[in-house]
Amino acid sequence: MERRLEAIAGEALRRDVPLREHTSFAVGGPARLFVESGASSVVAGCLAAAVDGGERILFLGGGTNLLVSDAGFDGVVVKPAFDGLELHPEEGQVVAGASIPAARLVDELVDRGLGGLEFAAGLPGTVGGAVAGNAGCFGSTFGDRLLWAEVITGAGEVARVERDALGFCYRRSEIAARGWLVSRVCFVVEEADRGDLLEIADGHKATRRERHPAPTRKTAGSYFKNLPPLEPGGRRRAAGQLLDAVGAKEMRVGDATVFEKHANIIVNAGSATAAQILQLAGEMAARVEDRFGVILEPEVRFVG
């Protein structure tokens, strides 16, 4: 298997790469095999080879919604570098490489007076990860604006899939469920007043700075998913409110702590381990279940 991957990827294949260097939590042991490439043919070939060889596969974008085991990942990590941005304002579309940081894409669109994605101003992670996980905030999601996604399948085939076939729902899509890797996406945008867009984007960024840790702090963002509404058509209930009510902000396990301004965010305050973060998250969820009878579901994905 390793020789086959090496024949496909060449120097793009590395071994025993510490995943703590590639995740926003700064936690995680080594990946046995690690492929990083901007060539879709290399990525597709490695993915197909890994599937044929029965290897475990991890797609890695910005590493912002991920908690990797201290033991690492015994499989193949594929980290694509799909950049490239095409603006087609006359058609109301923008095509973006999946590896572009979502926040950078939003800034670019806002600066060009193209509206539709300003809700995601300041959002961490990559465009591909945001689409695959249907990331969202302020009442909107990336799936709402998607026209199509170009994906690489487990067979190493490149396919364009229309939005309606991607099964978008709260924080998930068929992209992740089917084990596809996003390479490019197309969003619907519209021309708008640049000043108005800047005001909205700056407001969202200010809210994020007020409620979320600074970019320099080691965290994966909201740890648990928000809860379904109590009534059909209602708003989802914030998991952070329940966690706040049970005193989660005062909790810690080793260097794994709860962010002082948001009870649904765990921070690596120094040299936290994945085991410490998992223990803390488990204790937080247990308090909520004991008090409210509600079972919290992690939004952060544990791997390894």
pLDDT band per the 50, 70, 90 thresholds, residue 1 = confident
- Look up the CATH number of domain 213-303: 3.90.78.10
- 40-52 helix and 2-9 helix, angle to the nearest 10 degrees: 170
Which residue is catalytic, options 163, 171, 184, 287? Answer: 171
Which residue is catalytic, options 36, 55, 118, 299? Answer: 299
At 39-58, the pLDDT tens digits run 999 999 999 999 999 999 99
Topology of domain 2-80, per CATH? 3.30.43
- Is 173 one of the catalytic residues? no
* CATH 3.40.120.10, applies to 85-197: no
- Is 287 one of the catalytic residues? no
Residue ranges of the chain that CATH labels 3.30.465.10: 85-197
Residue ranges of the chain that CATH labels 3.90.78.10: 213-303
What is this structure's pTM? 0.91
Could you tell me which of 71, 75, 58 has the C-alpha nearest to residue 1? 75
| 118: phi then psi, degrees, rounded to nearest 5 | -65, -15
Is residue 264 over pLDDT 90?
Answer: yes
Residue ranges of the chain that CATH labels 3.30.43.10: 2-80
Which residue is catalytic, options 36, 184, 222, 287? Answer: 222
pLDDT band per the 50, 70, 90 thresholds, residue 230 = confident
- Is 299 one of the catalytic residues? yes
